[in-house]
Amino acid sequence: MSRYVGAIDQGTTSSRFIVFDKHGNIVSVAQKEHKQIYPKPGWVEHDPLEILANTSEVIGAALARANLTASDLAAVGITNQRETTVLWDKATGKPLCNALVWMDTRTDQLVQRFTKDGGQDRFRAKTGLPLATYFSGLKLLWILENVEGARKKAEAGEALFGTIDAWLTWNLTGGANGGKHVTDVTNASRTMLIDLATCDWDDGMLKHFNIPRACLPKIVASSAVYGEMETAPLRGTKLAGMLGDQQAALVGQTCFAPGEAKNTYGTGSFLLMNTGTDPVQSKAGLLTTLAYQFGDEKPRYALEGAIAITGALVQWLRDNLKLFDVAPQIEPLARSVEDNGDVYIVPAFSGLYAPYWKDDARGVIAGLTRYATRAHLARAALESTAYQVRDVVEAMEADSGIKLAALKTDGGMVANELLMQFQADILAAPVVRPKMTETTALGAAYAAGLAVGYWQNVEDLRANWGVDKTWEPKMAEDVRARHYKSWKKAVQRSFAWVE
Residues at the contact surface with ligand ATP, assessed by CB under 6 A:
11-14, 81, 245, 266-267, 311-312, 314-315, 327-328, 330-331, 411-413, 415-416
Q: Which is nearer to ligand ATP, 127 or 269 (CB)?
A: 269
Which of ligand ATP, Mg ion, none sits in contact with 413, Cβ below 5 to 8 A by type?
ligand ATP
Instruction: Tell whether 177 is in a known binding site.
Output: no
Q: How far is the CB of 307 from ligand ATP (least distance, A)?
A: 11
Q: Which is nearer to ligand ATP, 282 or 409 (CB)?
A: 409
Query: CA-CA distance, 58 to 370, in Å (whole number)?
Result: 47
Which of ligand ATP, Mg ion, none sits in contact with 412, Cβ below 5 to 8 A by type?
ligand ATP
Instruction: Tell whether 353 is in a known binding site.
Output: no
Q: Which is nearer to Mg ion, 410 or 425 (CB)?
A: 410
Q: How far is the CB of 443 from ligand ATP (least distance, A)?
A: 12
Q: How far is the CB of 367 from ligand ATP (least distance, A)?
A: 21
Q: From 161, 167, 169, select the one nearest 212 (Cα to Cα).
A: 161
Instruction: Tell whether 388 is in a known binding site.
Output: no
- Cβ within 8 Å of residue 74, ≥6 positions away: 1, 2, 3, 4, 5, 238, 448, 449, 452, 454
Q: Which is nearer to Mg ion, 269 or 440 (CB)?
A: 440
At 111, which amino acid appears?
V
Q: Is the dihedral of CA 81, 87, 88, 90 positive or negative?
A: positive
DSSP code of 336? T
Instruction: Tell whether 379 is in a known binding site.
Output: no
Query: CA-CA distance, 98 to 410, in Å (whole number)?
Result: 30
Q: How far is the CB of 51 from ligand ATP (least distance, A)?
A: 11
Which of Mg ion, ligand ATP, none sits in contact with 274, Cβ below 5 to 8 A by type?
none
Strands (E), 113-268: 159-163, 182-184, 194-195, 200-201, 218-220, 223-228, 238-244, 261-265
Helix and strand element counts for the chain (H, E): 16, 23
Query: CA-CA distance, 359 to 132, in Å (whole number)?
Result: 7
At 322, which amino acid appears?
K
Instruction: Tell whether 83 is in a known binding site.
Output: yes
Instruction: Tell whether 134 is in a known binding site.
Output: yes
Instruction: Tell whether 293 is in a known binding site.
Output: no
Q: How far is the CB of 327 from ligand ATP (least distance, A)?
A: 4
Q: From 11, 21, 13, 106, select the one nearest 436 (Cα to Cα).
A: 21
Q: Which is nearer to ligand ATP, 193 or 334 (CB)?
A: 334
Q: How far is the CB of 413 from ligand ATP (least distance, A)?
A: 4
Residues that bind Mg ion (CB under 5 A): 11, 245, 266, 440
Q: How far is the CB of 14 from ligand ATP (least distance, A)?
A: 5
| Beta strand 4-10 pairing with 14-20 | antiparallel
| Beta strand 223-228 pairing with 238-244 | antiparallel
End-to-end CA gap in the chain: 60
Preceding amide of 430 cis, omega within 30: no
Which of ligand ATP, Mg ion, none sits in contact with 6, Cβ below 5 to 8 A by type?
none
Instruction: Tell whether 16 is in a known binding site.
Output: yes
CB of 385 closer than 8 Å to CB of 237: no
Provide the annotated binding site.
12-14, 16, 82-83, 134, 245-246, 267, 311, 315, 412, 416
Annotated binding-site residue numbers for glycerol: 82-83, 134, 245-246
